[in-house]
Structure formats: structure tokens, C-alpha cells
Structure 1
């Protein structure tokens, strides 16, 4: 997470930060709920082993969420105090503290504006990836599973938004 001091924000930026903060709080619950509804989400959650943890963070802010998969397949939020401090998140290295949670994969949004665009359904993850709106760190196989899971999750959550609506089929004549 970023240690730089937070700069004063406009009202719009504070509202965006509040929105992103709420969705980060809801994230483990949304994954756990939607895995019962969507076979795509369930398949990607099943690919991730119990104990798997990922971090979503927004650079330049204090917005972050670590989610960890339980034995039952649900995701739970990990309190910051339980995170391993002796290894870099996403490095794949074990912590010397057996009770600490190590982060297996990191998704770091470059800015609040990019995170808000994705979290509000204004743009898809594919579009955000093309603009390099976020960086990742960790193994590719689980990164792909997370990407597919988040794409399905956002499509279910924001299906009413233009970025996630299915393209209209061209009539053949």
C-alpha cells in the first residue's frame, strides 16, 4: 500500500472514494453470494485453493481490501493486522509468522479514477487492462482465474451498464 500522504480531494473525488470503499467492503460478500448464482464464478472460485488471498488496492489512497478463500469456498475479508509484514504481497514467498496471512495476488489500480471507472461499470476490466489502469503481481494462472471471476461478477452486478451489455447481433438479410 502507498505511504504517501493523502492530498486534499474534491467533493467528486471523496464521493468516488466512498463508493470504491463500500464496494471493497462488499467484495467478499458479493463473490460468496454470486458463486451460488453463476456457474462461471463458481468455476473460478473452485480453481482457487482454500487459503488463497488476493489484494485489491488503489494507489495514492488508503483504499485496499484483502480477501481470502475459506474451506467452504466463501471469501472473507482479512483484517490488516493479520497480514504478513515480512514478505512482499504477491511474491509467492512464505511468511516466517505462521499465523500471518500472505497475499498470493495483487491488483493495484493506478488511481482512484481508474478504480471508480471499473467499480462503477463505466468500463470493463478488458478496457482497463488495455489502458494499463492497474498492475498485477502474482502467478498468472490464478491471475487469469481472478480476471474471469471479476469479469463475470461485474457483468452480473453491472449488466445494466453499457460497458457490460451484450453487443446487439447484426440482422442477417
Structure 2
């Protein structure tokens, strides 16, 4: 029989940090549009009703956001999400009142999510090392990636992963 180990204080703090940021995500996206033209441009690219999900595997952390007719994002409770179709599959639900998820970003672990959400690693670096998987149409996935990169860069501009890198001189 395998014994269950208790999470360390560091693991509990990482989980709390990621949970708080996921809870704040709709608020952050809605307000960063006023600070960053890039965030606004990517929000404008997504249609009303567009729904995305951020999931952290093995940590029971998830955030589902839907774009409203007003152009803002709101959190979607899990009980409103369609259970008869795979999130990000593009298939319609048989339930008319259920919300289908258009795009999924699933972090492989809490450590990977924490690295990205704390500014320790950029989304591009995390994608290159397969820290998360995606599911859904590529065009809106690229838009979400650009939006999240602009959002994280605004917060973590002081962190190396998000600083504008100087271009190497060819002279």
C-alpha cells in the first residue's frame, strides 16, 4: 500500500498563489485592457461567448472564463460547463443551457503553473519545454497566448523572463 505524503509548506503556498491568481483572472483581464493595447487587441479578436479554461493537473485548480456581449470576461462555475463534450473539442453540447469550452490550457503540474504565474518562466519557454498542453482552434489559442503574455509582462516586467530582451548587434 502506498502512503500519502502531506504537502510541504512550500507546496501549499504555491497552490494558494496559483489559486488566487486563477480566481482573479477575469478581473485582471478585464482591467488590463485599459493598461495594455495588446491585451485589448487580443480581447477584441475573440468573439462574444468565447470560453477558455486554465487547468492545473494534479492540483484540482481550474478557471473557466467566458467573454460576455459587453466584451468583458466572467468566471463560469463548473456546474454550468457541458459534461457531454470534451473541453476544447469544438463540439456542441446536447444541453442548450450548458457552456462549452472553446480552448484549454492545461499545465502538467503545479510547479509549472507556479513558474509561469510567478514570472519565473515565460509562456513561450514553458510551451517549448511542454509544461502545458493545449486543445482547441489554433487561431484563438495564439490570441490567448499573446493576451496572457502581455498580461504577465505587465505584471512581471521586472522579472528576467518578461523583460524586453536586447537585440544582439551584428556589427
Judge same fold: TM > 0.5, yes or no: yes
Q: Counterparts of 2:67 and 2:101 in 1: how far apart (Å)?
A: 11
The gaps in structure 1 that reach 5 residues or longer are 1-5
Instruction: Give the TM-score taking structure 2 as reference length.
Output: 0.93
Residue among 156, 160, 163 paired with 2:161: 163
Q: Counterparts of 2:160 and 2:5 in 1: how far apart (Å)?
A: 32
Q: 1:99 to 1:12 in 2, by over 3 A?
A: same
Q: Counterparts of 1:94 and 1:171 in 2: how far apart (Å)?
A: 51
Instruction: Give the TM-score taking structure 1 as reference length.
Output: 0.92
Q: Counterparts of 2:76 and 2:96 in 1: how far apart (Å)?
A: 15
Aligned length: 168
1:37 Cα offset (Å): 1.7
Q: 1:7 to 1:35 in 2, by over 3 A?
A: farther
Q: 1:169 to 1:135 in 2, by over 3 A?
A: closer
1:8 Cα offset (Å): 3.0
The gaps in structure 2 that reach 5 residues or longer are none
Aligned CA RMSD, in angstroms, stands at 1.6
Q: Counterparts of 2:45 and 2:20 in 1: how far apart (Å)?
A: 27
Residue among 129, 144, 149 paired with 1:131: 129
Alignment partner, residue 145 of structure 2: 147
